[in-house]
Amino acid sequence: MLAVGLKNDLGQVPDLIGSFDFAINEECVTYDECGRLRPFVRAGKPVFHVEYANSPSAFCAMTERLGLNSIKKARDFSLFALPYVPCS
Its pTM surpasses 0.75: yes
The CATH number of 5-86 is: 3.40.50
Across residues 61-74, what is the average pLDDT? 94
Model confidence over 20-40: pLDDT tens digits? 999 999 999 999 999 999 999
Say which amino acid occupies 20. F
List, in order, residues 6 or more apart from 4 with CB less than 8 Å away. 19, 20, 21
Q: Across 1-88, where does the E strand assignment appear?
A: 5-7, 22-26, 47-51, 69-72, 85-86
Domain locations in the chain as residue ranges: 5-86
